[in-house]
């Protein structure tokens, strides 16, 4: 009987854990914009002295390839404050119809021979990024951009 009770408790805790994970992972549906696009906020930190080369790669190659693969370019920024990365940080925002479109676009982009050639050529003197952060976003119901 002890073994049966243990198995029952383990199953119950497992189900509770799965439910808790689901509840934590999903934002409250009431605050989300119905049919929101999938947004991705990306932050690149360049090694010292490489930010202008990173800008050139985006300007000359990456933007056209993003568009080719269905990524909507929303905007690009650099921090204004030196202590926040003004000399080595690029922040940009992309939009996609949904998460599946985002995943497909990045997969196709990553295997595109034109991207591989552009990355290789731009990194002959070393990598242009030392850190990349990505944050996937869903618009709120009060956002002017969905």
Strands 38-45 and 89-96: antiparallel
The pLDDT tens digits of the residues spanning 102-115 come to 999 999 999 999 99
The pLDDT tens digits of the residues spanning 9-38 come to 444 444 444 444 444 455 557 899 999 999
Give the count of alpha carbons within 13 A of 110, CB side only: 6
For residues 74 and 16, is the Cβ–Cβ distance under 8 A?
no
CA dihedral 139, 26, 131, 105 (to 10 degrees): -70
Q: What is the pTM of this model?
A: 0.79
* pLDDT value at 120 more than 70: yes
Rounded Cα distance, 131 and 93, in Å: 16
């Amino acid at each position: 009987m002890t073994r049966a009770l243990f198995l029952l408790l383990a199953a119950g805790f497992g189900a509770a854990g799965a439910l808790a994970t689901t509840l934590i992972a999903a934002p409250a549906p009431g605050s989300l914009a119905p049919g929101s696009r999938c947004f991705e906020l990306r932050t690149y930190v360049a090694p010292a002295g490489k930010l202008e080369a990173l800008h050139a790669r985006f300007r000359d190659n990456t933007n056209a390839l993003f568009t080719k693969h269905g990524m909507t370019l929303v905007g690009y920024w650099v921090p204004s404050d030196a202590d926040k990365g003004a000399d080595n940080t690029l922040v940009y925002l992309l939009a996609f119809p949904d998460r599946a479109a985002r995943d497909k676009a990045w997969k196709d982009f990553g295997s595109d021979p034109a991207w591989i050639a552009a990355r290789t050529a731009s990194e002959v003197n070393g990598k242009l990024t030392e850190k990349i952060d990505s944050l996937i976003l869903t618009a709120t119901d009060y956002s002017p951009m969905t």
